[in-house]
Amino acid sequence: MTRERLYGWGRTAPSISEVLSPTSEDMVAQELAHATSVIARGLGRSYGDAAQLSGGLVLTNRSLGGIGSIAPDGVVIVGAGVSIDELLAITIPLGWFMPVTPGTRQVTIGGAVAADVHGKNHHRDGSLGDHVLEMRLVTPTGTFNVSPTMDPQLFWATIGGMGLTGVVTTVTLRLLKIQTDKVLVDTTRYSHLDDVMAAMIASDDDYRYSVAWVDCMTKGASMGRAILTRAEHATRRDITGDSLVAPKSAHLRVPFNAPRGLLNPVTIRTFNEIWFRRAPKRREGEEQSLGAFFHPLDGVSDWNRLYGRRGFVQHQFAVGDAQSETVVRAIERLSSSGVPSFLAVLKRFGPANHGVLSFPIPGWTLALDLPIGPLALPGVLDDLDEMVIEAGGRVYLAKDSRLNPEAVRVMYPRLPEFLDIKNRIDPQHKLASDLARRLHLVGK
Ligand SMILES: Cc1cc2nc3c(=O)[nH]c(=O)nc-3n(C[C@H](O)[C@H](O)[C@H](O)COP(=O)(O)OP(=O)(O)OC[C@H]3O[C@@H](n4cnc5c(N)ncnc54)[C@H](O)[C@@H]3O)c2cc1C
């Protein structure tokens, strides 16, 4: 056991915890029996304080490894500590891909299930929980197999439950069959936010993958200009060659924290401008590798250090289709505030699953990366929360570092149901995290 200072990807709000890496399910069970306060941790890619616990015990899941053989229908049992990167290194050469992947491969399967992660295909395929058949879950009151039919309440509280129902040790997943390691990408540049949003709605049924990068630094007529990329997996007939090669690891690394002020309105505006101009007005059927399309940021490791010592927050919210105007108002608010923001990521969400605290709701999700520092930032974030609440939407807990308990109760109306389930398997309220304490999710 070691004492460590832990923080999330945004590098804000660190805290000190005891850290242990259990190597077996029995060891996890023993730790849960003896600890007074405990939480699981994966690769620490949640942005805020979800995977740390001040003064408590953090169980890193990285030694809970193992990848079973893949059945002919793509079903595989994976250790919760295996990263998507490690899993894809095995599965892609065999012609299988993750049914849902977040924007980085550097997350563990346990962390991905706990956040019920979504990808660029939510409108088509839902979130990761929709592809999980079963899990082994160690709780303070016992170890269970849970699935949509075996204790479905506990299963759906764990999908998106941010580690607060126990430690997942293995996950049975159904993978997606692929014929090649390429996607065919259509790219279109839009000068107006309304146009890109209309195009995304119109093509919900036409593409498996869809994402828009929105420039939040421009005002006036070009406010919210965007680059939309939509893609399908390439089949053997689409391309020459049928290679199935897994993406390579990062070859670049940010070695130290960038000096304060490196990312300011001028540098970020310039970056956004270059990005926008580099994109073609319209290009169809471009072959891209799986890594380049799904995980473009994985090419540089530790890129979060570019934000300097003070770090950054990501504000990601979801609102329904009838509240499209909230997306426009949020970008307006940001672009008029002077708070710098790299290109924001806009995606479509399809139907929600049964995850009690799962984030997606049908409609839109917008993710904004904002460096800590500008005086206007706290006010902008509060305004965004207010807009989201007014629209009946919610902020993503895996990205959050600053919501308050009242806001979360409104955003996640099934919270009382979640706490009932948590009380059943954790009557002594052992499962906790800094996020859970901050948002009053530890117990009733
Ligand atoms: C560059 C980048 C891009 C991203 N893109 C997306 C995206 O497109 N879509 C998306 O949905 N998310 C995205 N994320 C967020 C990320 O997918 C989630 O935060 C994910 O949970 C991180 O997994 P992790 O292994 O790092 O877990 P951690 O961050 O270490 O932990 C996250 C949560 O999982 C819990 N947990 C971890 N392991 C277990 C376990 N074995 N059992 C039970 N609970 C466990 C922790 O307690 C914590 O609450 C992105 C993050 C980054 C840095």
pLDDT in tens, 270-282: 888 888 888 889 9
Beta-strand pair 226-233/312-320: unpaired
How far is ligand 1, taken at its centre, from the CA of residue 274, in Å? 30
In the prediction, which pLDDT does 328 show?
96
**pLDDT of the residue at 418:** 98
Q: What confidence score (pLDDT) does residue 250 get?
A: 73
Residue 373 CB-half CA count within 13 A: 20
C-alpha closest to that of 171 among 111, 220, 213:
111
User: Could you report the per-residue pLDDT of 359-405, keeping only the tens digit for each?
Assistant: 999 999 999 999 998 999 999 999 999 999 999 999 999 999 999 99
Cα separation, 442 vs 444, in Å, equals 7
One-letter-per-residue 3-state SS of 213-273: EECCCCCHHHCCCEEEEEEEECCCCCCCCCCCCCCCCCCEECCCCCCCCCCCHHHHHHHHH
Atom of ligand 1 nearest to the CA of 61: 41
Q: Which residue, judged by its Cα, is nearest atom 34 of ligand 1?
A: 111
Ligand 1 mean position, distance from CA 231 (Å): 24
Residue written as token pair 């999980």? 132
Residue nearest atom 1 of ligand 1, based on CA coordinates? 104
Residue 111 CA to residue 83 CA, distance in Å, equals 9
Note the pLDDT tens digit of each residue in 207-220: 999 999 999 888 88
Spatial distance between the Cα atoms of 161 and 433, rounded to a whole number of angstroms: 12
Number of the ligand 1 atom closest to the C-alpha atom of 8: 29
Average pLDDT over every residue of 139-145 = 98
Do residues 327 and 387 make contact, with C-beta atoms less than 8 angstroms apart? no
The pLDDT value given to residue 70: 98
CA distance 244 to 257: 36
What are the structural domain ranges in the chain?
Answer: 182-403
C-alpha pair distances (Å), 289 with each of 55, 183, 231, 296? 43, 6, 11, 10
Residue 8 has pLDDT above 80, yes or no: yes
Give the Å distance between the CA of 268 and the centre of ligand 1: 26
From 37, 46, 210, the mutation candidate for ligand 1 (largest count of ligand atoms within 8 A of CB) is 46
Alpha carbons 46 and 41: distance in angstroms, whole number: 10
Q: What is the pLDDT of residue 240?
A: 84
- The Cα 271–Cα 264 span in angstroms is 11
Triad 43, 215, 376: Cα angle to 5°: 80
pLDDT at 251: 74
Alpha carbon nearest to ligand 1 atom 39, residue: 110
Those residues with Cβ within 8 angstroms of residue 26's Cβ, 6 or more apart along the chain or in another chain: none
* CB atoms inside a 10 Å sphere around CB 55: 11
Indicate the top mutation candidate among 24, 45, 158 to test ligand 1's pocket, ranked by most ligand atoms within 8 A of CB: 45
Ligand 1 atom 3 nearest Cα:
103
What is the overall mean pLDDT for the chain?
A: 95
> What whole-number distance in Å separates Cα of residue 153 and Cα of residue 197?
36
As a whole-number percent, the residues of the chain with pLDDT over 70 amount to 100
pLDDT at 276: 82
Between 268 and 402, whose confidence is greater? 402
Dihedral angle over CA of 252, 253, 259, 265, nearest 10 = 50
Instruction: Name residue 354's amino acid.
Output: H
**Total Cβ atoms within 10 A of residue 130:** 23
Find the 305 Cα to ligand 1 centroid distance in Å.
18
Q: 209 alpha carbon to ligand 1 midpoint, in Å?
A: 21
Å from CA of 41 to ligand 1 middle: 9
Ligand 1 center to residue 398 CA distance, Å?
6
What's the pTM?
0.97
% of the chain at pLDDT higher than 90: 84
What are the E-state strand segments in 234-323?
Answer: 252-253, 282-289, 300-301, 312-320
**182-403 maps to which CATH number?**
3.40.462
Span of 46-50, 186-190, 251-255, 302-306 with lowest mean pLDDT: 251-255
For the CA of 169, the closest atom of ligand 1 is 41
Task: Tell me the mean pLDDT in the region 230-253.
Answer: 89
Residues with CB under 6 A from ligand 1: 9, 39-46, 50-51, 61, 80, 102-104, 107-108, 110-112, 114-115, 117-119, 162-163, 167-168, 297, 398, 433
For ligand 1, atom 15, which residue shows the shortest CA distance?
46
Pocket test for ligand 1, best of 19, 38, 104 (most atoms within 8 A of CB): 104
Model confidence over 100-127: pLDDT tens digits?
A: 999 999 999 999 999 999 999 999 999 9
Distance 252 CA to ligand 1 centre (A): 22
CA 207 – ligand 1 centroid, Å? 26
Ligand 1, atom 19: nearest CA belongs to which residue? 46
> Ligand 1 center to residue 397 CA distance, Å?
10
Query: Residue 333 class from Cβ within 10 Å (0-12 exposed, 13-18 middle, 19+ buried)?
Result: middle
> If you measure from the C-alpha of residue 135 to the centroid of ligand 1, how many angstroms do you get, rounded to a whole number?
17
Packed helices 193-202 and 324-337: angle between N→C axes, nearest 10 degrees: 150
Evaluate if residue 427 carries a pLDDT over 90.
yes
Dist CA 201 CA 70 (whole Å): 35
pLDDT tens-digit readout, 176-188:
999 999 999 999 9
pLDDT higher than threshold 80 for residue 258: no
